């Protein structure tokens, strides 16, 4: 087995353990794209684990020295991009996918900046702050995945729409996890929203405040919808198999947000998930949308990622 093949197989195992939803969606990609998606995921998963004190997305625990973990992540990532020094598997995976795709370094560095915000205990003050954070932790990944799928690094509108899907995913995740996040001392809701609702961060974990928390979660889901619509326009420009995979992922993550919206105060009685049968139905819907033009969706008024070089 070649070194590349071994690296790809290890990355495949990482995604199988770290994200069942993404692993399922990745099977829809053409082989080269699928392998590169696995490689990119392996690095993203390792970066998240390193900074959250967890393993494959599970068992998160407060780090004794978050700044040291962030510095180590940045060191290993820079070594992957700037050298041929042997590195742990996830960073070898990043090196390979970056070289094979010509990945713009700015997207990698923007993603690292999201981990730096978490390491610093950052909190969003405004909706603008929230969307910028969502870009760093998820929108930048959307841009990287677009490059993996063959989008040119100078196709700004398609990259913006790939970013939009990442924003929508992250907003749905925040809505689903607002209560468990609060129970572990995390809050991604803008402080301005909390003040408007007459809540403090501690109130988010209080069952007596569940109605008010549900209204805030619904606001997140409502915020995500135009970004999902925009992303579908970008997805229509992709090769068929990539388009199908993206629309399937959109359906799954969108369904999570919409379940939170529909359940209201009951959304945190148990973790919101999409069943296997539900995923099959969403895949069928994605297949149908893949064969039909998307509804027009202007980006006017939507938050737009930074354009640094």
Q: Where do runs of H (alpha helix) occur along the chain?
A: 3-18, 20-26, 31-52, 66-82, 89-101, 105-119, 127-134, 140-148, 156-183, 191-197, 210-235, 240-263, 276-290
**pLDDT the model gives residue 215:** 98
Please name which of 99, 97, 104, 102 lies closest in space to residue 44, comparing C-alpha atoms: 97
> pLDDT tier at 62 (50, 70, 90 boundaries)?
low
**pLDDT the model gives residue 65:** 79
Q: Give the mean model confidence (pLDDT) for residues 179-198.
A: 95
Query: Is a pLDDT exceeding 50 seen at residue 82?
Result: yes
Q: Give the mean model confidence (pLDDT) for residues 19-32.
A: 81
**pLDDT the model gives residue 68:** 87
Query: Is a pLDDT exceeding 60 seen at residue 262?
Result: yes
Q: Give the mean model confidence (pLDDT) for residues 240-246.
A: 95
**pLDDT the model gives residue 60:** 54
Report the C-alpha gap between 241 and 33 in whole angstroms: 9
Please name which of 236, 44, 79, 54 lies closest in space to residue 151, comparing C-alpha atoms: 236
Query: Is a pLDDT exceeding 50 seen at residue 204?
Result: yes
Query: Is a pLDDT exceeding 70 seen at residue 88?
Result: yes
Per residue in 151-184, is it b (16+ CB within 10 Å) or e — as a string?
Answer: beeebeebbbbbbbbbbbbbbbbbbbbbbebbee
Global pTM value: 0.93
Q: Give the mean model confidence (pLDDT) for residues 150-174.
A: 97
**pLDDT the model gives residue 250:** 94
**pLDDT the model gives residue 55:** 58
Report the C-alpha gap between 119 and 67 in whole angstroms: 6
Q: Give the mean model confidence (pLDDT) for residues 124-150.
A: 98
pLDDT-above-90 percentage for the chain = 77
Q: Give the mean model confidence (pLDDT) for residues 99-114.
A: 97
The answer to whether 188 and 136 have CB atoms below 8 angstroms apart is: no
3-state class (DSSP) for residue 289: helix
Q: Give the mean model confidence (pLDDT) for residues 164-171.
A: 98
Please name which of 53, 38, 144 lies closest in space to residue 101, comparing C-alpha atoms: 144
Q: Give the mean model confidence (pLDDT) for residues 151-176.
A: 97
Query: Is a pLDDT exceeding 60 seen at residue 61?
Result: no
- Residue 34 half-sphere exposure, CB side, CA atoms within 13 Å? 16
Q: For residue 33, what are the contacts with CB-CB under 8 A and spacing of at least 6?
A: 148, 149, 150, 241, 242
The answer to whether 206 and 221 have CB atoms below 8 angstroms apart is: no
**pLDDT the model gives residue 57:** 44
**pLDDT the model gives residue 53:** 58
Report the C-alpha gap between 124 and 188 in whole angstroms: 6
How high is the mean pLDDT of the chain?
Answer: 92
3-state class (DSSP) for residue 168: helix
Q: Give the mean model confidence (pLDDT) for residues 77-96.
A: 96
15/4: higher pLDDT: 4
The answer to whether 272 and 257 have CB atoms below 8 angstroms apart is: no
**pLDDT the model gives residue 58:** 45
**pLDDT the model gives residue 66:** 82
């Amino acid at each position: 087995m070649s070194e590349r093949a071994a690296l790809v197989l290890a990355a495949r195992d990482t995604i199988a353990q770290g994200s069942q939803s993404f692993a399922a969606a990745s099977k829809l990609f053409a082989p080269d794209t699928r392998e590169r998606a696995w490689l990119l995921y392996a690095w993203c998963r390792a970066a998240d684990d390193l900074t959250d004190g967890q393993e494959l997305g599970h068992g998160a625990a407060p780090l004794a020295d978050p700044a040291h973990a962030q510095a180590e992540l940045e060191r290993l990532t820079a070594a992957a991009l700037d050298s041929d020094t042997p590195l742990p598997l996830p960073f070898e995976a990043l090196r390979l996918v970056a070289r094979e795709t010509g990945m713009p370094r700015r997207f990698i560095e923007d993603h690292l900046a999201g981990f730096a915000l978490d390491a610093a205990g950052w909190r969003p003050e405004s909706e603008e702050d929230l969307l910028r954070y969502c870009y760093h932790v998820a929108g930048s990944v959307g841009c990287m995945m677009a490059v993996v799928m063959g989008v040119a690094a100078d196709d700004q509108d398609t990259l913006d729409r790939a970013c939009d899907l990442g924003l929508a995913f992250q907003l749905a995740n925040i809505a689903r996890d607002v209560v468990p996040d609060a129970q572990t001392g995390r809050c991604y809701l803008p402080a301005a929203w909390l003040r408007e609702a007459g809540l403090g961060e501690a109130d988010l974990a209080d069952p007596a405040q569940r109605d008010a928390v549900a209204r805030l979660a619904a606001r997140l889901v409502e915020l995500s919808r135009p970004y999902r619509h925009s992303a579908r326009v970008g997805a229509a420009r992709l090769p068929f198999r990539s388009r199908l995979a993206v629309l399937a992922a959109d359906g799954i993550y969108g369904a999570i947000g919409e379940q939170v919206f529909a359940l209201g105060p009951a959304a945190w009685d148990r973790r919101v998930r999409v069943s296997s049968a539900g995923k099959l139905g969403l895949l069928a819907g994605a297949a149908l949308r893949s064969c039909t033009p998307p509804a027009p969706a202007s980006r006017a008024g939507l938050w737009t990622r930074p354009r640094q070089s």
